[in-house]
Structure 1
Amino acid sequence: MADPDPRPGGDKPVEEAPSSRVPGTIKVGSIAGSDVLVTPSWFLIAALIAWLMAPQIEAVEPGLGWLTYVAGFAFAIVLYGAVLLHEAAHAIVAKRLGYPVGVIMLHFLGGATAVEKEARRPRDEFWIAVVGPLVSLAVAAAGFGVSFLTPDGLIGLIVAGLWVTNLFVGVLNLVPGLPLDGGRVLKAGVWGVSGNINRGSIVAGWAGRVVAIIVLLWPFIQGQIIGVQPDLTRYVVAVIIGIFLWSGASAAINSAKVRLRLPLLVARDLARRTLAVPADLPLAEAVRRAQEAEAGSIVTVTSGGEPIGLVHEGALLATPEDRRPWMATSTVTRRLEDGLTLPADIDGEALIQAISKTPAPEYLLVEPDGSIYGVLVTSDVDAAFRAGA
């Protein structure tokens, strides 16, 4: 695929995504123009981390009393600071490549960066995805090096916990399965080889489902593999992570399957033949002429031939036949407002976006010269989409 600008991002201005504060979240700052939000669930996991760390802190710094839990909470903050670096790397690289980024969210499972647009090239997908785990591994390496210089005690425990945790996060996120970063790397690879981003998503999504199953089964088989019997906490963590991975992988697969069907939706192929009639023509006469011309839709026009309205099929069918001779066709039409006129060649995702932007039962399709081609009925689009499923 040709690169419109050989430099990453080039001179193209980065489109800023609108800041959307999720209800209940707390803004703690911003990075590269993106708000950093913390969900209430983070405080629960931070408290859990403080509770789990308390025995280890007590072992290296006995006699702290209630400050033991304060130290544990401080470790949670340091740990999520490293998670924030991971997410910030995604945001910075995405913006450097010209993609708008929304908020950076910290939650109980880690973090998420809202890159608002699909990658244009496989290499963009690769770099946006891989940079996060690389930063985590870099933090792990730095922490490991510093651990040789720190004295035994609380600081040494925090440094050790930091590098071990970031090593785990970095390696885990490189596992090739969506919704993990490694899944996006796999998606980029399949996309680059096949030339189809949706096939990349499907392959990476199925890989993510396999990873989810392994995570769910791990507590049951780890005793046979490493000789360690899991406790209840490990089962709970495995279930939470497994469900998260399965849900994310399934969502990616379903979305990709939908996108694969979109190219089948071509407005020109789905259009109904239309008949143009004066707005004041009796409705019965307009219907008679449409049946004679084997037209599936009716458009009202001015005396100069300019389209001004679309006959609403539902309103027409609801009008009793004995009243139609005394009603003007305009009484069952919808005026052609902005968004109701589409180019006849529109298709795929552009067609779906246009319909979603201005929902309506019918749309007028016009040629590049402005002449009427036909009418697109939303129910016909829905039927064609289901037929391609």
Structure 2
Amino acid sequence: MADPDPRPDRDKAVDEAPPTYRAPGTIKVGSIAGSDVLVTPSWFLIAALIAWLMAPRIEAAEPGLGWLTYVAGFAFAIVLYGAVLLHEAAHAVVAKRLGYPVGVIMLHFLGGATAVESEAKRPRDEFWIAVVGPLVSLAVGAAAFGVSFLTPDGLIGLLVMGLCITNLFVGVLNLVPGLPLDGGRLLKAGVWGVTGNPNRGSIVAGWAGRVLAIIVLLWPFTQGQILGVQPDLTDYVLAVIIGVFLWSGASAAIMSGKVRLRLPLLVARDLARRTLAVPADLPLAEAVRRAQEAEAGSIVTVSSAGEPIGLVHEGALLATPEERRPWMATSTVTRRLEEGLTLPADIDGEALIQAISKTPAPEYLLVEQDGSIYGVLVTSDVDAAFSAGA
């Protein structure tokens, strides 16, 4: 846990955060620590539901409000989500202080989400970014509990107790060890710290999240026996919504962890095809003959100075009838070596996948550190190697 910071330019990483992307239909309501705060249309649904559910309690606390009862209920929802915003802002502030770029803070139907734009580099970073949100919720709940002794009965007292109960609930719930909850990230950090592998942490915390999702789905069927309170339709609907949310988030974490575990198997040097360098104006038939003779699986065209300038596209070559190949220059079925199509021969793992994703192409030229040609990497070979490790 005392490892040195591997990012000496961490402030620069924050300054170079990617531009904010605003999902269609969202509404910007402000910004915190440089991150836009967005509200999704679904938030208005939960705000209306809170206003409707709180109406009887508000009427009991302040009789005679009439239609203002629902206005007060809506205001109650705003205050509650203000506390959720504090929770998410805490994630954003700590992530930025640790050097991670943060996109938007989103408030939605099930609460909020903070878009930290890069994966944590160390277990302790994962721990602190995750734990600060629940701690803020617990602090707000504790503060509201203390203030409740000073507030009079009525609407204000109801609001303060509501803040107390909901924040304590959110704080405790988010400490439950299962992704996608903050507690799942704490579990991931713990497994990561023990095993040295963040992907195993994601898989373990994802399975814990799936168990939690099943518990949530089954809760309405057991709450009568446990609490003595029979569930109503709202309980079942909320259990399904929350359970599906937890299951999908946990499943995504498991899938991501499994994918990342296989990435080290992808080594460009091991997957490269032997290549033959030929002049660009050499007849295609002769280039193919030489490649077969040399048992090369790919062809690179070079300039008169020996500099690589193009890669023979395997698909274009196979689509060219053999009777036409003697009369065609090899350059007619090549793709020019543009930026991103030349990769270091030692590239592997996640760096390899990122390079391929950044510049999609069927083939890439692999070169040694001195610039000499090592071979050609074919994307279909990378896909086959990845699938074989599944």
TM-score class, shorter: over 0.9
Q: Is the 8 A contact 2:10 2:100 kept in 1?
A: no
Residue 225 (structure 1) shift = 1.8
**Structure 2 CA distance for partners of 1:51 and 1:248, relative to 1, 3 Å:** same
SS at match of 1:14: helix
1:225-252: CA deviation from partner (whole Å, max 9, x where unpaired): 2222111111111111000000000000
CA–CA separation in structure 2 for the residues paired with 1:16 and 1:174:
32
CA–CA separation in structure 1 for the residues paired with 2:289 and 2:178:
59
* Equivalent residue runs for 1:137-152 within 5 Å: 137-152=138-153
**Structure 2 CA distance for partners of 1:16 and 1:234, relative to 1, 3 Å:** farther
Deviates more, 1:1-10 or 1:332-341: 1-10
Residue 3 (structure 1) shift = 3.9
Residue 223 (structure 1) shift = 1.4
Unaligned runs of 5+ in 1: none
SS at match of 1:323: helix
SS at match of 1:4: coil
Residue 90 (structure 1) shift = 0.1
Q: Is the 8 A contact 1:91 1:113 kept in 2?
A: yes
CA–CA separation in structure 2 for the residues paired with 1:150 and 1:374:
75
**Structure 2 CA distance for partners of 1:6 and 1:274, relative to 1, 3 Å:** closer
Q: Is the 8 A contact 1:8 1:96 kept in 2?
A: no
**Structure 2 CA distance for partners of 1:9 and 1:156, relative to 1, 3 Å:** farther
CA–CA separation in structure 2 for the residues paired with 1:154 and 1:72:
10
Residue 8 (structure 1) shift = 10
SS at match of 2:14: coil
Q: Is the 8 A contact 2:13 2:101 kept in 1?
A: no
Instruction: State the TM-score, normalized to the length of structure 2.
Output: 0.97
Q: Percent identity?
A: 91
CA–CA separation in structure 1 for the residues paired with 2:186 and 2:347:
32
Residue 184 (structure 1) shift = 0.2
State the match for 1:121 in structure 2.
122
CA–CA separation in structure 1 for the residues paired with 2:146 and 2:136:
15
CA–CA separation in structure 2 for the residues paired with 1:340 and 1:69:
61
**Structure 2 CA distance for partners of 1:131 and 1:9, relative to 1, 3 Å:** farther
**Structure 2 CA distance for partners of 1:11 and 1:103, relative to 1, 3 Å:** closer
Q: Is the 8 A contact 1:140 1:162 kept in 2?
A: yes
Q: Is the 8 A contact 1:187 1:203 kept in 2?
A: yes
CA–CA separation in structure 1 for the residues paired with 2:308 and 2:6:
45
Task: State the Cα RMSD in Å.
Answer: 1.5
Q: Is the 8 A contact 1:19 1:35 kept in 2?
A: no
CA–CA separation in structure 1 for the residues paired with 2:52 and 2:142:
27
Deviates more, 1:104-113 or 1:222-231: 222-231
**Structure 2 CA distance for partners of 1:206 and 1:11, relative to 1, 3 Å:** same
**Structure 2 CA distance for partners of 1:351 and 1:24, relative to 1, 3 Å:** same
State the match for 1:340 in structure 2.
341
Unaligned runs of 5+ in 2: none
1:232-275: CA deviation from partner (whole Å, max 9, x where unpaired): 11111111100000000000000110001110000000000000
Q: Is the 8 A contact 2:273 2:298 kept in 1?
A: yes
CA–CA separation in structure 1 for the residues paired with 2:240 and 2:259:
28
SS at match of 1:322: helix
Residue 109 (structure 1) shift = 0.3
CA–CA separation in structure 1 for the residues paired with 2:11 and 2:312:
47
Say how many residue pairs are matched: 389
Residue 323 (structure 1) shift = 0.9
CA–CA separation in structure 2 for the residues paired with 1:274 and 1:88:
53
CA–CA separation in structure 2 for the residues paired with 1:51 and 1:344:
63
1:300-325: CA deviation from partner (whole Å, max 9, x where unpaired): 01111100000111111111111111
SS at match of 1:149: coil
1:110-141: CA deviation from partner (whole Å, max 9, x where unpaired): 00000000000000000000000000000000
Runs of 4+ in 1 over 6 A off after TM superposition: 6-10
CA–CA separation in structure 1 for the residues paired with 2:344 and 2:160:
61
Instruction: State the TM-score, normalized to the length of structure 1.
Output: 0.98
Q: Is the 8 A contact 2:368 2:374 kept in 1?
A: yes
CA–CA separation in structure 1 for the residues paired with 2:9 and 2:76:
37
**Structure 2 CA distance for partners of 1:15 and 1:201, relative to 1, 3 Å:** farther
**Structure 2 CA distance for partners of 1:2 and 1:264, relative to 1, 3 Å:** farther
SS at match of 2:13: coil
SS at match of 1:272: coil
**Structure 2 CA distance for partners of 1:19 and 1:371, relative to 1, 3 Å:** closer
1:33-59: CA deviation from partner (whole Å, max 9, x where unpaired): 000000011111101100110000000
**Structure 2 CA distance for partners of 1:217 and 1:259, relative to 1, 3 Å:** same
